[in-house]
């Protein structure tokens, strides 16, 4: 099976590494890819937002399966174009991808499916903002209703800061979603979904804020770890039965069945799991940690979902132990990043590329989140040690990373 992976981040690098371990995968192509993916897959240029371009490329490289990594092409209907060309595609239709592309749509689906989530209100008129803010707090959650790469969210006890973010979004023509604050530790649970068939992967926890101790602004994610020693196994079953499966069933009932990776971001509070957000694709950086522990063939799993035969495939098998990924970000990220710096140590084992390119034989930075460094081990302590030891051999001028990925779990500071 020849597999074409669409995207250019560390998530796609992780997908390619896992697909490379699948004996049923005979060829790997990545478009547009980065300096790291070029070492393990044929690299091709493509406009990832163009369904026509991706479908043509898939035919040109004789792909048997297309795996779409990022959310933007999914929301724009690239998976529909690939399927229309007669090629199997892992990724939801544009209609189904609204579960991420429109938070209002996701809220409507959850209400119909009786899934616990935050109380919310859409504001699309600046004149209504202050009255709406008065109905929330004392911690305000302000979101861009559309796609924002994980950076369109402000969670703050400061009403003025919440108002400023909302006003900025509205000024730029983006409707605002106000939500009640959900307490409790957060969990990312990925599920492979084929209509109403749901196959959960192992849960992970992302670290969204840029600085240690969850300080500073939100980012696309600064690191992740799996599994979660503080999360009972039965909670994963509860999430599947009370959250993921009801949403999948409701989407099928509406005539927009979900096919692909359904990502549930949840807060685990005193009353059980509640949904913070849904995404329509593999999360980044959680994918880098989760797939590091996958033992069974990834290509077989994704191909079955793409072809509607997921129910016939054995459940995924996982290695014992833990995995941690730490993101190395460029100077000034999550603001406009400094780029063009030469990176040393980027080709070592466990180093996954995101914002990189190769210039005159050197790997240079080309984005905000530049590398993901992954460690594995018998437990979370060992996995953290390996990740940070590997990171110590990588140098990016002006680069920064969090030193506390997974540390609260190691120290037993996360409780339910």
Q: What is the mean pLDDT of the chain?
A: 96
The residues near 12 (Cβ < 8 Å, ≥ 6 apart) are 5, 6, 30, 33, 34, 37, 69
Q: How confident is the model at residue 410 (pLDDT cuts 50, 70, 90)?
A: very high
- What number is the average pLDDT over the span 254-270? 97
Q: From residue 350, give the alpha-carbon distance in Å to each of 115, 209, 326, 371, 405.
A: 38, 23, 11, 10, 16
pLDDT of res. 390: 98
CATH topology of domain 322-410: 3.90.600
pLDDT of res. 150: 55
**Torsion angles phi and psi, residue 2, rounded to 5:** -95, 130
CATH architecture under which domain 183-312 falls: 2-Layer Sandwich (3.30)
CATH topology of domain 2-90: Rossmann fold (3.40.50)
DSSP single-letter state for residue 316 = P
pLDDT in tens, 268-306: 998 899 999 999 999 999 999 999 999 999 999 999 999
pLDDT in tens, 61-73: 999 999 999 999 9
DSSP single-letter state for residue 345 = S
Q: In DSSP terms, which residues pair with 28 in a beta bridge? A: 3
Q: Give the whole-angstrom CA distance, residue 36 versus residue 5.
A: 14
Integer-rounded Cα Rg, in Å, for the chain is 20
pLDDT of res. 379: 98
> Based on the number of CB atoms within 10 Å of its own CB, is 178 exposed (0-12), middle (13-18) or buried (19 or more)?
buried
| CATH class of domain segment(s) 120-179 | alpha beta
SS3 of 201-230: CCCEEECCEEECCCEEEECCCCEEEECCCC
Residue the block writes with tokens 């070492």: 39
Q: What percent of the chain has pLDDT over 70?
A: 99
Answer for the pair 165, 154: CB distance below 8 angstroms, yes or no. Answer: yes
**Pairing assessment for the beta strands 356-359 and 362-365 based on DSSP bridges:** antiparallel
Tokens representing 27? 């060829």
pLDDT in tens, 17-34: 999 999 999 999 999 999
Sign of the alpha-carbon torsion through 111, 116, 121, 124 = negative
pLDDT of res. 137: 87
Choice between 177 and 304, residue whose per-residue pLDDT is larger: 304
Coil, helix or strand for 157?
Answer: coil
pLDDT of res. 337: 97
Where helices occur in 136-217 by DSSP H, the ranges are: 159-171
Equal fold, 120-179 vs 322-410: no
DSSP single-letter state for residue 365 = E
| CA torsion angle 18 414 237 297 (round to 10) | 10
Tokens representing 197? 């068939």
For the chain, the structural domain boundaries read 2-90, 120-179, 183-312, 322-410
Tokens representing 413? 């500071």
pLDDT in tens, 92-151: 999 999 999 998 899 999 999 999 998 889 999 999 999 999 999 899 999 887 776 555
pLDDT in tens, 211-246: 999 999 989 999 999 999 999 999 999 999 999 999
Is residue 52's pLDDT more than 70?
yes
Choice between 177 and 3, residue whose per-residue pLDDT is larger: 3
Q: What per-residue string of b and e applies to 305-325 under the rule 16 or more CB within 10 Å gives b?
A: bbeeebeebeebeeeebbbbb
């Amino acid at each position: 099976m020849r597999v074409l992976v669409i995207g250019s981040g560390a998530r796609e690098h992780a997908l390619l590494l896992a697909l490379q371990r699948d004996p049923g995968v005979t060829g790997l192509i990545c478009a547009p890819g980065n300096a790291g993916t070029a070492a393990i897959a044929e690299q091709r240029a493509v406009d990832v937002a163009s369904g026509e371009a991706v479908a043509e490329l898939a035919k040109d490289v004789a792909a048997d399966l297309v795996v779409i990594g990022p959310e933007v092409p999914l929301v724009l209907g690239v998976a529909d174009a690939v399927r229309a060309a007669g090629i199997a595609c892992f990724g939801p239709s544009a209609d189904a991808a609204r579960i991420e592309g429109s938070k209002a749509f996701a809220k409507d689906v959850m209400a119909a499916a009786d899934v616990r989530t935050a109380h919310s209100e859409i504001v699309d008129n600046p004149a209504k903002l202050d009255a709406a803010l008065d109905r929330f707090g004392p911690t305000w959650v302000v979101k861009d209703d559309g796609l924002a790469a994980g950076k369109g969210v402000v969670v703050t006890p400061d009403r003025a800061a919440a108002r400023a973010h909302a006003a900025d979004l509205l000024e730029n023509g983006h409707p605002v979603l106000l939500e009640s604050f959900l307490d409790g530790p957060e969990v990312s649970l990925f599920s492979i979904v084929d209509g109403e068939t749901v196959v959960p992967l192992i849960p992970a926890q992302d670290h969204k804020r840029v600085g240690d101790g969850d300080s500073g602004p939100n980012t696309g994610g600064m690191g992740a770890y799996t599994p979660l020693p503080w999360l009972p196994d039965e909670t994963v079953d509860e999430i599947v039965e009370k959250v993921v499966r009801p949403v999948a069933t409701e989407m099928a009932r509406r005539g927009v069945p979900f096919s692909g990776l359904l990502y549930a971001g949840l807060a685990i509070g005193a009353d059980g799991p509640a949904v913070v957000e849904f995404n329509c694709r593999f999360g980044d950086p959680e994918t880098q940690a989760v797939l590091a522990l996958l033992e069974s063939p990834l290509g077989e799993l994704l191909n079955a979902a793409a072809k509607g035969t997921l129910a016939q495939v054995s459940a995924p098998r996982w290695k014992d132990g833990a995995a941690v990924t730490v993101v190395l970000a460029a100077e000034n990220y999550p603001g406009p990043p400094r780029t063009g710096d030469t990176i040393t140590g980027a080709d070592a084992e466990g180093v996954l590329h995101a914002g990189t390119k190769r210039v005159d034989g050197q790997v240079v930075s080309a984005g905000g989140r530049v590398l993901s460094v992954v460690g594995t081990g018998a437990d979370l302590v060992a996995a953290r040690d390996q990740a940070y030891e590997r990171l110590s051999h990588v140098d990016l001028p002006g680069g920064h990373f969090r030193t506390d990925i997974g540390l609260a779990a190691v120290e037993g500071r996360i409780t339910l």
